[in-house]
Amino acid sequence: MRVISGSAKGRPLKAVPGTGTRPTTDKVKEAIFSMIGPYFDGGQVLDLFAGTGGLSIEALSRGMERAVLTDIDKKSIDIIRHNLEASGFKEQAEIYRNDAVRAIKALIKREVKFDLVFLDPPYRLKVVQDLVEQLDKANMLNEGATIVMEHDTEDVYQEPIGRLHWVRRAEYGETAVTIYKYKAQD
């Protein structure tokens, strides 16, 4: 695993030891950023199942200003810290050991808004649509925000989800990526 493009291009990233975390492959990561970017002019990214932090680090490398990364697993949090340090983005990131629902509740209290959200939970958890609905209802998204959902190819999500409108879906083996855009007003 490595940073594919941007200011930290080529920097290696560590994987979480064991089989509990399934990092996004470089091929899928490259495809995601060619669909949503590939580069950004500032903004905030939220990564609710950060794992290694690879997606958020890639977004920071490509121009996002700040990142909030959450994961429930202590090993993941340790790897995220290491990867942020190794890629030079430690000062631009906040890391929380928390589940996604509690993380959203904590961020609501802070009135934080995001421009890019990554949702890549373990495939057995069928929580993505509920989390997207929570982000929408809590007004946590800036106009034009992008939601990137990485999930099992068998999972299909409704169109629209609240004020989020389907943009694209692509499949890579057993992995599917579905992208939504936030539009506050119709």
| pLDDT band per the 50, 70, 90 thresholds, residue 186 | low
Domains defined for the chain, CATH in brackets: 27-34+41-182 (3.40.50.150)
Alpha-carbon Rg for the chain, nearest whole angstrom, is 15
**What predicted TM-score, i.e. pTM, was given to this entire model?**
0.95
Query: Around Cβ 177, how many Cβ atoms within 10 Å?
Result: 22
Provide φ and ψ at 8, rounded to 5°: -110, 20
Closest CA to 8 of 74, 58, 79: 58
pLDDT range class, residue 19, cuts 50, 70, 90: low
pLDDT in tens, 116-169: 999 999 888 889 999 999 999 999 999 999 999 999 999 999 889 999 999 999
